[in-house]
Chains A and B, each alone.
Chain A
């Protein structure tokens, strides 16, 4: 089966305030259409790992392959393009452009990619918002919606370019059980219908247990 994401011997140190070995020899892979979750104690290095896997953090040793292609060592310009096209990312704390409307936030990565015309992009964005039950918020300013709504807007934005893999850092952390369940069902549906790979950090054991695989982290190491 095809590997979407493959990490080999990833090590990372923080040098300040003192030398700290956060990630220790991380090696694992995510297959196409696989729904994997990462669990572990707070401070075990989950977010740090996700930043590396999403190509935003390049300060590490080891090798990272995306879609079978080595991305480690590529220039920033190319990494930006890879992120834009292939990776959807939902942050631990929902991050939207507060001066833009909800729909503009969702459309932005697609405009950057500019593979589709404006009308198509707008249509897609509306679809994603409806799917997440926030279609009625499309014209709202992003600063004027609730935390849970922001998180769903962020998910819609991560999905707009139909990426190969979606990475989420506690994407349901701020949601009530109904919306958390909705997001889970959407993830599952995307995996099944579009072969989307998912790598989701979560503290919700119920959520994790229903995914294909749980990756346990402890002190910067994958334990299972």
Chain B
């Protein structure tokens, strides 16, 4: 039977009478855990922000028609030339359209699929923005704006105006921020565009779009799908791209493969498009954990050292305790509980300090042109990290306390009492 009251009482007296070492050891743990919480909250906040930036801007699957040469050249169709060695010079891409030829059935099929959160049709048109005598080349993307709002963070990127304004306007345009400043235009102004074939259309600016990526903001604008179809003089089923959002991003790769097979179109998934992106996140996570674990291991060594010293100093006490009937286990628990108390208190204070530092970071201003929606540094408050931090504090101090306390357990009282 273990008499915890007595054991903890003795542990308490040891901790209090050696207050300096106790505080040092506790601060070590506090520092380690505080740094871990701060680092991990900040780093994962950063990761999440960057992830969101990419994930919300990139569809999970992107369907389009690729212009490419036919794999089977016409000569191969002639029986006369089978088995011959055919040389074809200056191959040209196959005659075809950018249009996805069976867009509406594909859309219907996708909307029925339970893994699909949404699928939106887009029509990308090459146009010129007319500003006096200057023509600026660019894109006009016809979209189903309310679906885009539901599926991506486009609302955050509309820095002036609202998506609803676009939806309710027959000839509205969300002008790229770079274009707007180049042409000194703002919301409510009118603007003329011309198609590749030379037709000119007047559009009204109902909003300004800023993605944060200059190459996009300098050339790209959005309008309703119908508006763009009308500008191009095309039918309602004329769609060049379909963007798909899934519920489970892991499904992206197999699904894009299936779609390619089924509909004879080109489909790229997000992992293919952002292969290098994961690497960045992983390395940041790796750094976070490497630094935190290093700090905690250092703290653990501190505790190990201090307990070792304490046990050396308390040799006589240990001998007396054993001589008067405390068992080896009792003695071990006395020193283990000191380590765990240090871990517990140090860990709790560390969590508090980590939380306060995270709050400070969270409120520190962070303004950058590239990220219009971000005003302060990103911080991820996840309860899980606090649980991990606390468990790690107890674990590391437990291990650091175990070795010296095990030594204390095995001290032979006779040798100490005899004085050798």
- Do A and B assemble together? yes
The residues of A with any CB-CB pair to B shorter than 8 Å are 47, 51, 54, 56-57, 76-77, 80-81, 83-85, 89, 91, 93, 95-100, 108-109, 111-114, 157
B417 at interface by CB-CB < 8 Å: yes
B413 at interface by CB-CB < 8 Å: yes
Cross-chain pairs A/B with CB under 8 angstroms, 15 sampled: A54-B323, A56-B322, A77-B329, A80-B330, A81-B327, A84-B325, A85-B325, A95-B319, A99-B14, A99-B17, A108-B6, A108-B324, A111-B6, A114-B3, A114-B6
Do A89 and B418 have beta carbons less than 8 Å apart? no
B414 at interface by CB-CB < 8 Å: yes
Provide the bound-state CA to CA distance between A95 and B318, in Å. Answer: 11
Q: Interface majority SS on B: helix, strand, loop or mixed?
A: helix
Q: From the candidates B5, B317, B325, name the one contacting A109 in the complex (CB within 8 A).
A: B325
Provide the bound-state CA to CA distance between A111 and B3, in Å. Answer: 8
The 9 A-B pairs of least Cβ separation, nearest first, read A84-B325, A80-B327, A109-B324, A111-B6, A99-B17, A83-B325, A57-B414, A51-B414, A95-B320
Do A89 and B329 have beta carbons less than 8 Å apart? no
B230 at interface by CB-CB < 8 Å: no
| A residues less than 8 Å from B325 (CB atoms) | 80-81, 83-85, 109, 112-113
| A residues less than 8 Å from B17 (CB atoms) | 99
| A residues less than 8 Å from B317 (CB atoms) | 97-99
**What is the chain B residue whose CB lies nearest that of A52?**
B414
Do A96 and B320 have beta carbons less than 8 Å apart? yes
Contacts A112-B325, A113-B325 given: A93-B419 contact, CB under 8 Å? yes
Q: A84-B326, A89-B323 are in contact. List 20 more A-B contacts (CB 8 A).
A: A76-B327, A77-B327, A80-B325, A81-B325, A83-B323, A83-B325, A85-B325, A91-B323, A91-B417, A96-B320, A97-B321, A99-B13, A99-B317, A100-B13, A108-B6, A108-B321, A109-B324, A111-B5, A112-B326, A157-B324
| A residues less than 8 Å from B321 (CB atoms) | 97, 108
Do B316 and A95 have beta carbons less than 8 Å apart? yes
Provide the bound-state CA to CA distance between A98 and B325, in Å. Answer: 18
Provide the bound-state CA to CA distance between A80 and B329, in Å. Answer: 10
The residues of B with any CB-CB pair to A shorter than 8 Å are 3, 5-6, 9, 13-14, 17, 316-317, 319-330, 413-414, 417-419
Do A80 and B326 have beta carbons less than 8 Å apart? yes
Provide the bound-state CA to CA distance between A101 and B166, in Å. Answer: 83
Contacts A56-B414, A95-B319 given: A76-B14 contact, CB under 8 Å? no
| B residues less than 8 Å from A100 (CB atoms) | 13
Q: With both chains docked as a complex, state the minimum distance between the C-beta of A128 and any C-beta of chain B, in angstroms.
A: 14
Q: With both chains docked as a complex, state the minimum distance between the C-beta of A56 and any C-beta of chain B, in angstroms.
A: 5
**What is the chain B residue whose CB lies nearest that of A109?**
B324
| B residues less than 8 Å from A112 (CB atoms) | 3, 6, 324-326, 330
| A residues less than 8 Å from B13 (CB atoms) | 99-100
| A residues less than 8 Å from B329 (CB atoms) | 77
Q: With both chains docked as a complex, state the minimum distance between the C-beta of B18 and any C-beta of chain A, in angstroms.
A: 9
**What is the chain B residue whose CB lies nearest that of A84?**
B325
| A residues less than 8 Å from B320 (CB atoms) | 95-97
Provide the bound-state CA to CA distance between A93 and B327, in Å. Answer: 22
Do B3 and A80 have beta carbons less than 8 Å apart? no
Provide the bound-state CA to CA distance between A24 and B293, in Å. Answer: 57
Q: With both chains docked as a complex, state the minimum distance between the C-beta of A109 and any C-beta of chain B, in angstroms.
A: 4
Provide the bound-state CA to CA distance between A34 and B419, in Å. Answer: 30
| A residues less than 8 Å from B330 (CB atoms) | 80, 112
| B residues less than 8 Å from A97 (CB atoms) | 317, 320-321
Provide the bound-state CA to CA distance between A85 and B1, in Å. Answer: 14
Provide the bound-state CA to CA distance between A97 and B319, in Å. Answer: 10
| A residues less than 8 Å from B418 (CB atoms) | 47, 51
**Most chain B CB neighbours (cut-off 10 Å) among A112, A114, A157:** A112
**What is the chain B residue whose CB lies nearest that of A93?**
B419
| B residues less than 8 Å from A81 (CB atoms) | 325, 327
Q: With both chains docked as a complex, state the minimum distance between the C-beta of A145 and any C-beta of chain B, in angstroms.
A: 16
**Most chain B CB neighbours (cut-off 10 Å) among A47, A97, A98:** A97
**What is the chain A residue whose CB lies nearest that of B1?**
A114
Provide the bound-state CA to CA distance between A220 and B83, in Å. Answer: 110
**What is the chain A residue whose CB lies nearest that of B14?**
A99
**Most chain B CB neighbours (cut-off 10 Å) among A51, A76, A84, A95:** A95
| A residues less than 8 Å from B9 (CB atoms) | 111
Q: With both chains docked as a complex, state the minimum distance between the C-beta of B10 and any C-beta of chain A, in angstroms.
A: 8
Q: With both chains docked as a complex, state the minimum distance between the C-beta of B251 and any C-beta of chain A, in angstroms.
A: 59
Q: With both chains docked as a complex, state the minimum distance between the C-beta of B413 and any C-beta of chain A, in angstroms.
A: 5
Q: With both chains docked as a complex, state the minimum distance between the C-beta of A85 and any C-beta of chain B, in angstroms.
A: 7
Provide the bound-state CA to CA distance between A94 and B326, in Å. Answer: 18
Provide the bound-state CA to CA distance between A95 and B321, in Å. Answer: 10
Q: With both chains docked as a complex, state the minimum distance between the C-beta of A212 and any C-beta of chain B, in angstroms.
A: 26
Provide the bound-state CA to CA distance between A108 and B323, in Å. Answer: 12
Q: With both chains docked as a complex, state the minimum distance between the C-beta of A144 and any C-beta of chain B, in angstroms.
A: 14
Do B328 and A56 have beta carbons less than 8 Å apart? no
| A residues less than 8 Å from B5 (CB atoms) | 111
Provide the bound-state CA to CA distance between A84 and B3, in Å. Answer: 13
Provide the bound-state CA to CA distance between A57 and B418, in Å. Answer: 11
Q: With both chains docked as a complex, state the minimum distance between the C-beta of B418 and any C-beta of chain A, in angstroms.
A: 7
| B residues less than 8 Å from A47 (CB atoms) | 418
Do A56 and B413 have beta carbons less than 8 Å apart? yes
Q: With both chains docked as a complex, state the minimum distance between the C-beta of B338 and any C-beta of chain A, in angstroms.
A: 13
| B residues less than 8 Å from A96 (CB atoms) | 320
Q: With both chains docked as a complex, state the minimum distance between the C-beta of B309 and any C-beta of chain A, in angstroms.
A: 15
Q: With both chains docked as a complex, state the minimum distance between the C-beta of A38 and any C-beta of chain B, in angstroms.
A: 17
Contacts A47-B418, A99-B14, A108-B6 given: A56-B327 contact, CB under 8 Å? no
Provide the bound-state CA to CA distance between A155 and B161, in Å. Answer: 90
Q: With both chains docked as a complex, state the minimum distance between the C-beta of B33 and any C-beta of chain A, in angstroms.
A: 29
Q: With both chains docked as a complex, state the minimum distance between the C-beta of B253 and any C-beta of chain A, in angstroms.
A: 60
